[in-house]
A and B are shown apart, each in its own frame.
Chain A
Amino acid sequence: ETGVTQTPRHLVMGMTNKKSLKCEQHLGHNAMYWYKQSAKKPLELMFVYSLEERVENNSVPSRFSPECPNSSHLFLHLHTLQPEDSALYLCASSQAQAGANVLTFGAGSRLTVL
């Protein structure tokens, strides 16, 4: 495996389900990110884990909870989602440094909430 891998690629869930998205990076990077991508909207940063620090977008609802057990793995736990949460969820990693910070993205997990 190389780069950033995300599973599952597609997920359909009901509003009462609990599911998780998984991301793994094989690049030796020290930062991992979750972004939400909705049609016609900018990429929305949800969470960042970097050097044991967690940064979060305060507008993200609590029904999304991240977990980063080590520098190579990142999860996004989902529970009691709403239909408006349907979107493409992108994981990314980088070698974080102020200024020059290039992200490598995974292929994304397409989430549909019924």
Chain B
Amino acid sequence: QKEVEQNSGPLSVPEGAIASLNCTYSDRGSQSFFWYRQYSGKSPELIMSIYSNGDKEDGRFTAQLNKASQYVSLLIRDSQPSDSATYLCAVIQSGGSYIPTFGRGTSLIVHP
């Protein structure tokens, strides 16, 4: 079964630190990777997408993709208490699929 794995956490970091969230996937042919953020009691919203090996930066967020090692990560620089949320990794697998498979999410807590 094709899976997307995340450590459920919680990951606790102090304000101003770098938060590092990791995701591994089982389907080597996966082609598209997404990070969604879900605040408590709210629905998921997209924060980053990445399709090629390497880094992609958007403000304080950096997504890193390593297809050879089958992992994708999200770095949050200068973490703020408002970043406290659950971060969901989603992967679109090979074979012409358009339907993403989600991990269980990592809970991030940024404490002042």
Contacts and interface: CB of A to CB of B under 8 A. Distances in A.
B31 interface: yes
Q: How large is the interface on B (under 10, 10 to 19, 20 to 34, 35 or more residues)?
A: 20 to 34
Interface residues of A, number: 26
Contacts of A104: 46
Given A40-B8, A42-B104, A102-B34, A97 B46 contact: no
A103 B32 contact: no
A105 B34 CA distance: 14
A54 B63 CA distance: 32
B32 A90 contact: no
Contacts of A100: 32, 49, 51
A105 B99 CA distance: 14
B92 interface: yes
Interface of A: 31, 33, 35, 40-43, 45, 48, 50, 55, 90, 94, 96-108
When A and B form their complex, which 9 residue pairs have the shortest distance between CB atoms, in order from nearest?
A: A105-B43, A43-B102, A101-B98, A42-B104, A96-B98, A98-B96, A99-B32, A42-B102, A98-B98
